[in-house]
Amino acid sequence: MRPSLDFATGGGVGDQPVDRVLPIRGSGVSIRRAGRTLLDRVDLTIEPGPLTVIMGPNGAGKSLLLRVLAALIEPDDGAVSWAGTAPSRRRAPRLGFVFQKPVMLRRSAIDNVRYALKVAGVPRIERDSRALDALAGAGLDRLAGSPARVLSGGEQQRLAIARALATRPEILLLDEPTANLDPTATLAIEDQVRRAHQAGTTVAFVTHDLGQARRLADQIVFLHQGRIAEHAPAAQFFAQPSSEAAAAFIEGRLMP
């Protein structure tokens, strides 16, 4: 799977600022591997504002779709655009991505954030204050000097989110960031994500947790067998799903 940013040239056109990434649009996106279709002609637009939760059973293509929208994977068919143009390395810092298993550099918590700011092109004079602010926002300021890799799983994930937010992205993409965490760590991360969203960062969030989706989502994108079976406001999705696959998922019934 090669990163699609390898072929993008960047820049904006018309009146689009070159640093914009929203809206992110996937048009007719398909991914095939080993004779299987994992994403099948998916059309999805992530607009500025709403907190979007992407749900579906295991193997539905949730994480894969998130990576395609982030231009980490090139689709076999279809295309992804950021603010109407091809994804570009220049704009990549405007999109924060947090994986299910956080990747920590072999350095202190604050140096993990400083490094992200350096890569994003933030001037050296600003990096310390922005890194400290990001850690404080995650409740990790007291651990600033601790080696990142010795933090607990929940602390590492909060650090990963703080690191992504320190660059002040337009959108934060999260791939099941609370999987395998205890309820206390999960709620801390949900609060961190909620506060980021309230501060103006658009969020798209992959989860299999119905309770989490009810707590966080403004809208739900429900994937089934590599296709979008439903895209609806969260209240409508949970009260009156329009697809049998979504209804079965909400009720905990097995689906074909």
Range of the domain at 24: 4-10+18-101+169-251
Q: The CATH number of the domain where 63 resides is what?
A: 3.40.50.300
Q: What is the predicted pLDDT for the residue at 254?
A: 66
57, with CB counted inside 10 A (0-12, 13-18, 19+), is middle
Residue 130 lies in a domain: no
Rounded Cα–Cα distance for residues 245 and 243 (Å): 5
Answering whether pTM is above 0.95, one says no
Residue 119 lies in a domain: no
Per-residue pLDDT of the chain (256 residues; tens, 9 = 90+): 334 443 232 333 333 445 899 999 999 999 999 989 999 999 999 999 999 999 999 989 999 999 999 999 999 999 999 999 999 988 998 999 999 999 999 999 999 999 999 999 999 999 999 999 999 999 999 999 999 999 999 999 999 999 999 999 999 999 999 998 999 999 999 999 999 999 999 999 999 899 999 999 999 999 999 999 999 999 999 999 999 999 999 998 766 6
Question: Which of 32, 166, 186 lies closest to 112, judged by CA?
Answer: 166
Residue 72 lies in a domain: yes
Residue 85 is classified by DSSP as B
Rounded Cα–Cα distance for residues 188 and 76 (Å): 38
How many domains does the chain contain in total? 1
Q: What is the predicted pLDDT for the residue at 2?
A: 35
Residue 112 lies in a domain: no
Question: Which of 231, 167, 232, 173 lies closest to 197, judged by CA?
Answer: 173
Q: Is the dihedral of CA 204, 210, 211, 215 positive or negative?
A: positive
Residue 221 lies in a domain: yes
Residue 80 lies in a domain: yes
